[in-house]
Structure 1
Amino acid sequence: MPEPVPTAVRAGGEVRPAPGRSEPHREAFFDNAKYLAIVLVAVGHAWEPLREGSRTVTALYTVVYAFHMPAFIVLSGYFSRGFDGRPKQIGRLVTGVAVPYVVFEVAYTFFIRWTDGAPGRDISLLDPLYLTWFLAALFVWRLTAPVWRLVRWPLPFALAIAMLATLSSSIGTDLALQRILQFLPYFVLGLLLEPEHFRLVRRRAMRALALPVFAAALAVAYWAVPRTDYAWFFHDDSAEQLGAPPWLGPVMTLATFGCSLTLVACFLAWTPGRRTWFTALGGATLYGYLLHGFVKQAAGPAGWYDHDAVHRPLGLLVVTLVAAVTVTLLCTRPVRWALRWAMEPRARWAFRRDGVVQDRVAA
């Protein structure tokens, strides 16, 4: 959904901190958080065909969608704190975000044509297809990072933009602009965070509180399934497009922001801070994010969900495990070695040498 994050947080490469900030380094905590979040992304996608007729699956799906992308985006903002538009940073943004966006926009278009057995849509680099929306959004957000450091009240301003976006149904699909604007506050919040904020949410008291909060969130989601539209958490439509009165858009922006941040804090509270068997996989979440979409797309035409057993509790468990294992394998070293040319191209030939020299002098 996904350097980025995928490496949700590292898309475009690690960036230097702003003046006065300590140099970022790879901490097990952040790699663990990225891996666990990408697993939730894959699991959420795997649950989509199981929602119909199941209130429980829909409630689980709603809770997961309430925080997994906000978590990615907050972390992406946190690791973008030092982005100030230097030539080397722009180069990394192009090779680490723009190039994968183009490659996978084209790849998904042809793959969907093939699996659906129809010509389908034309290739359009302005209309992100499926998971590629996140790369388009990250590219725009990161370019605006220097602006948010100049604004006096960046988070309220970003929230105001998100609230106004829900009032307009005329915002088109170009570069997933509706999502860019509505998810913007999470990225801006990440820009404002300091290491001590993450230490606060990892305290023992916070971990003790996280479990009942998640339980309450699941109970509320179960109650809300027949009463509200979980699509508010997608941040992909205006209030009018969701069949709601315009005034509800800004209200739901604030409500979902508070709900999502609460669950993100609970998620981070239970994220291990030590090195684990999956820590190294957290540095390759972009691979799992973009590649698992092909598996999900193939599942429908292949009839994987046509069996009644899949829609039973044991089937749900199997689907969940298969999704988790699949995305894990897609983050491993062999996959990264085979597809580095598309995900992390160096492309030094495409950039002027004097730009790199100027960047080094400025540093």
Structure 2
Amino acid sequence: MFPAPPARVSEAPPRPAEPTPPGKGQPKQRDAFFDNAKYLAIVLVAMGHAWEPLTDGSRAAEALYMTVYAFHMPAFILISGYFSRSFDMRPDRLQRLITGVAVPYVIFELAYTFFKRWADDDPTYDFSLLDPWYLTWFLAALFVWRLTTPIWKLVRWPVPLALAIAVLASVSPDIGDDLDLQRVLQFLPFFVIGLCMKAEHFQLMRRREVRLLSLPAFGCAVLVAYWAAPRMNSAWFYHRDSVQELAAPPWTGPVMTLALFGCSMLLVVCFLSWVPRRRMWFTVLGAGTLYGYLLHGFLAKGSRFWGWFDEYAWLHKPLGEIAVSLIAAAVVTVLCTPPVQRMFRWAMEPRMAWAFRKTPPRPQTSPTPYTSPTPYTSSRP
């Protein structure tokens, strides 16, 4: 679902790139750490969507739901920002932004529209490019964030500026729903932090003391969420509404934005500190998280439209909640596999060479210092 990772994170300083001999190009080496992080995060996304219908009758489910929602999308967005560092307006990168983000957005917005009309028996539901439905908001946001990357590289204090924008958005009810701009602006600080991060920052997260401290931090987060479950509206974690729309006083906008930002960053660090660095059985699935993300939405919404959680009361029992979690993890795992990627690549990663003008090759110059690979969602080598 997210850009392909660069070479393995290392503490060693970057070395100049060696010229590749003609006809001996090699595929870019994927970093197991980031593929592992993306897979584990998409599993949490699927579990969170599966827990949502259970939260009304289970305080424990609501606590886990709030804890996961505090960090799973911030983690994805931070990683997306990290791999967008080299983005500029170069034609080939703009082309890949269109084919890897904009085109899947249009295709799945259309697919979700027809699915809602059929599954929810709502023939009047209209297709809209400006009003993302359900999961497509992230593609719209990623398209906007990535286009603004040169600006964040230019300004002197990008993170404080992004936080100020998020705070102002939280108290601006007139922003409207076009392209889900509330989410675009309120989640913006996580993308900008990713842009500002370096490889050594991920090395710091892997230190033993960070990993040990992350355990009580996660435990405290679950306990606080358990206490807050009956007292707090979980919609705060979606970042899609202003405080006025949440029926809260204006002063809560800055307070909640900054407080949730701090909690989310803490849990993101805790999560990443435990992500394995070596290749695991699920590492290969990290290249297909966009597939799992967009495709599991049909089942997640279909389960509500078809009343599965109302029809089967046992799903609301502890064993049922565990079963729902395991089923969600298994389904999204299957949707990330290479066979599914091959089946839906035409929609997720279309080449579309016919749609773009051929640009003249860039003149060969002396070797330039190493930069991170082009940020892109592709799983191709």
Q: Same fold (TM over 0.5)?
A: yes
Q: 1:336 to 1:245 in 2, by over 3 A?
A: same
1:184 to 188, 203, 211: 188
Letter in 2 for 1:42: A
Q: What is the CA–CA distance in structure 1 between the aligned matches of 2:166 and 2:361, rounded to whole Å?
A: 39
Letter in 2 for 1:338: M
Deviation at 1:252, TM superposition (A): 0.8
Moved over 4 A (4+): 20-25, 358-363
Q: 1:359 to 1:208 in 2, by over 3 A?
A: farther
Q: How does 1:71-220 map to 2 (within 5 A)?
A: 71-220=75-224
Residue of structure 2 equivalent to 1:274: 278
TM-score, with structure 2 as normaliser: 0.88
**Is 2:58 aligned against 1:64?**
no
TM-score, with structure 1 as normaliser: 0.93
Residue of structure 2 equivalent to 1:3: none
Letter in 2 for 1:233: F
Q: What is the CA–CA distance in structure 2 between the aligned matches of 1:121 and 1:199, rounded to whole Å?
A: 48
Deviation at 1:120, TM superposition (A): 3.8
**Is 2:296 aligned against 1:292?**
yes
1:330 to 312, 329, 335: 335
Q: What is the CA–CA distance in structure 1 between the aligned matches of 2:324 and 2:278, rounded to whole Å?
A: 29
Which range moved further: 243-252 or 68-77?
A: 243-252
Letter in 2 for 1:83: F
Task: Report if the CA contact (8 A) 1:76-1:190 is conserved.
Answer: yes
Deviation at 1:205, TM superposition (A): 1.1
Q: How does 1:309-328 map to 2 (within 5 A)?
A: 309-328=314-333
Q: How does 1:7-46 map to 2 (within 5 A)?
A: 8-10=2-4, 25-46=29-50
Letter in 2 for 1:45: H
Q: What is the CA–CA distance in structure 2 between the aligned matches of 1:359 and 1:310, rounded to whole Å?
A: 62
1:345 to 350, 353, 361: 350
Identity rate, percent: 62
Task: Report if the CA contact (8 A) 1:46-1:320 is conserved.
Answer: yes
Aligned length: 350
Quote the RMSD (CA, aligned, Å).
1.9
Q: Deviations for 1:330-358, whole angstroms, at most 9, x for unmatched residues?
A: 0011110111000000001111102x635
Structure showing greater radius of gyration is: 2
Q: What is the CA–CA distance in structure 2 between the aligned matches of 1:122 and 1:358, rounded to whole Å?
A: 44
Letter in 1 for 2:3: V
Note the residue ranges of structure 1 that are not aligned, 5 or more in a row.
Answer: 1-5
Q: Deviations for 1:230-268, whole angstroms, at most 9, x for unmatched residues?
A: 211111000111111111101111101100000000000
Structure with more helix by fraction: 1
Letter in 1 for 2:305: P
Residue of structure 2 equivalent to 1:52: 56
Q: What is the CA–CA distance in structure 1 between the aligned matches of 2:149 and 2:295, rounded to whole Å?
A: 28
Higher relative contact order (CA 8 A, sep 6+): 2
Q: Deviations for 1:102-152, whole angstroms, at most 9, x for unmatched residues?
A: 000000000011001121421100111110000000000000001100000
Deviation at 1:302, TM superposition (A): 2.8
**Partner SS state of residue 3, structure 2:** strand
Task: Report if the CA contact (8 A) 2:182-2:241 is conserved.
Answer: yes
Deviation at 1:78, TM superposition (A): 0.1
Letter in 1 for 2:328: A
